[in-house]
Structure 1
Amino acid sequence: MNTIKNKVALITGGTKGIGYGIAEALLAQGVNVAVTSRSAEAANETAKLLNSSSYSALAIGVKADVRDFGSQQNAVRKVLSQFNQLDFVIANAGLGHFGSIEELSIEQWQDTIDTNLTGAFYTIKASVEALKKSKGYFITISSLAGANFFAKGSAYNASKFGLTGFTQAVMLDLRQHGVKVSTIMPGSVSTHFNGNEPDAKDDWKIQKEDLGEMVVDLLKMNPRTLPSKIEVRPTMPPTKG
């Protein structure tokens, strides 16, 4: 089993939801973490909150927009400047616009693809040399929507189908360099995604700490073994009446 203490992780969209859960789990393992957000205030406030839990590792906030390649390059530079290494990159930033093809606007389509798919491309392009140097790990957070289509999900489905395929191809590209690549495809998760306010009604869903635990397990796995695509579902969703 790998030891991950004192390693360094960059998590895009790490200020809430799945990204925040992953940040907490990694800090608890002694991994230094950089969380990004389009908002500098949100990134810095999240880092402050994470550091208030007295982990031995350090969290920093970085303003970065995954839709902009230069912004992602700058985020990687800041991490390397702060920690002098980059071992794990979690491409988590994502959003969803939903509606029938008649309703979906050009802007909503572009925003979904640019964030969920092109954003992951920019993230690995900006960090690939650092990951090759550290023989690190690149993980994308896709979705079961990347394998199962549904009505009013054309933009989201397209972005997540694309992300799943993209990640698997990158895995084949980078394995020769000692870089491991995986995609995690969650079903329903208790987060603020799409305007949800998590509360007791979401107790049946996957929780953000569950995905944090999964990421830790992946990073600790023996280097000879690579779970390259993982589908994750709630054990017992409510029955539909």
Structure 2
Amino acid sequence: MEKSVKKVAYITGGTKGIGRGIAYALLQNNYRIALSGRNYEMAKEIAQSLGSSDNVLPIQSDVKNFDDEQNAINKIIEHFGQLDVVIANAGIGIFKPVEDLKIEDWHTMIDTNLTGTFYTLKASIAELKKTKGYFISIASLAGINFFATASGYNASKFGVVGFTQAAMLDLRDSDIKITTILPGSVSTYFNNNEPSEKDAWKIQPEDIGELVVDILKLNPRVLPSKIEIRPSKTK
């Protein structure tokens, strides 16, 4: 019997937090992974801590740059020969009242969170068609619930939800499945947080990793298009 080939997943923003949690969960479930970040040395360090070069590929990529994302996909195909799953996780939040929000703050969030998700999908469509693959975007409950000091962040995440849900309809008949995950409070370094015992009530990165694995195990006829996930308690 021919030995099955391990599937390959690409995770943007894979060096810490949710991205790293997803990477670990997929590795534990027999995936090979590529993880990217703006800092190659950090990506390389995390990749080495997770496993061998046969299973983990570090990539430098800034999702705000389409050429970076296209080069990332090319490197994945060159190294692994295929691409089955893409996790668009890279994101940033800058929280200020709108009158204090700088022009560059706005563009950083829109370009990273929204345009970056578009670039990652756009660069990977051709390869995902070949494998009847899966694209998962990590949005936020801030993509359906607005709050003060988050005008730019809300705009970017509302955009991610709208973009990926529409793309899901565009691509479902091309055998590419798309799911948008909307996490609530997660214990990560996001927004200058330092994870500690005070965050024990929050969703943990490994919880999102477990969710991604569960989604990928579903029968191919099933498509959970949008999933909200929040802590079971408020503190």
Q: Structure 1 residue 51 and structure 2 residue 44: aligned?
A: no
SS in 2 for 1:42: helix
In the alignment, the residues of structure 2 paired with residue 5 and residue 50 of structure 1 have an alpha-carbon distance, to the nearest angstrom, of: 20
Mapped partners of 2:28, 2:164: distance in 1: 27
Q: Percent of pairs identical after alignment?
A: 60
1:217 aligned residue (214, 217, 231): 214
> Match of 1:9, as an amino acid?
A
Question: 177, 190, 195: which is aligned to 1:193?
Answer: 190
Shift in alpha-carbon separation, 1:97–1:46, aligned structure 2, 3 A? same
SS at match of 2:104: helix
Query: Match of 1:27, as an amino acid?
Result: L
5+ residue gaps in structure 1?
A: none
Aligned to 1:72: 69
Instruction: Report the counterpart of residue 167 of structure 1 in structure 2.
Output: 164
Alignment-derived partner of residue 107 in structure 1 = 104
What secondary structure sits across from 1:60 in the alignment?
A: strand
Task: Give 2:175's aligned residue.
Answer: 178
Partners of 1:5 and 1:214 in 2: CA distance: 23
Residue 5 of structure 1 and its aligned partner are, at CA, apart by 7.0
Counterpart contact for 1:97–1:155, Cα < 8 Å:
yes
CA distance in 2, matches of 1:235, 1:191: 17
Quote the offset at 1:57 in angstroms. Answer: 6.6
What is the one-letter code of the residue matched to 1:117?
L
- What's the offset of the Cα at 1:60? 1.1
- Note closer, same or farther for the CA distance 1:24–1:18 as it changes in structure 2 (3 Å cut): same
Q: Which amino acid aligns with 1:10?
A: Y
Residues 15-54 of structure 1 correspond to what in structure 2 (within 5 A)?
A: 15-51=15-51
- Partners of 1:5 and 1:30 within 8 A in 2: no
Aligned mates of 1:77, 1:57 — CA distance in 2:
17
Q: What is the CA deviation profile of residues 152-184 of structure 1, one whole-angstrom value per residue up to 9, with x for unaligned ones?
A: 100000000000010100100110111100000
Q: Which residue of 1 aligns with 2:14?
A: 14
Q: How much has 1:237 moved relative to structure 2? A: 1.2
Deviation of the 1:236 alpha carbon: 0.7
Runs (4 or more) in structure 1 with deviation over 3 Å come to: none
Q: Distance in 2 between matches of 1:221 and 1:34?
A: 22
| Partner of residue 199, structure 2 | 202
The answer to whether the Cα contact below 8 Å between 1:136 and 1:178 also exists between their aligned partners in 2 is yes
Tell me the alpha carbon deviations over residues 38-88 of structure 1, each in whole angstroms, 9 at most, x when there is no partner: 111011111001117xxx971110000100000000000000000000000
Are 1:5 and 1:29, in contact at CA under 8 Å, matched by a contact in 2?
Answer: no
Number of residues of Structure 1 aligned to a counterpart in Structure 2 = 232
Alignment deviations for residues 13-52 of structure 1 (CA, whole Å, 9 cap, x no partner): 0000000000000000110000001111011111001117
> Is the aligned partner of 1:60 residue 2:44?
no
Match 2:115 to one of 118, 125, 137: 118
Within 2, Cα distance between the matches of 1:209 and 1:57? 23
Which residue matches 1:230?
Answer: 227
Q: 1:130 aligns with which of 127, 131, 134?
A: 127
Unmatched segments (≥5 aa) in structure 2 = none
- Cα pair distance change 1:194/1:5, threshold 3 Å: farther
Report the residue type matching 2:30 in the other structure: G
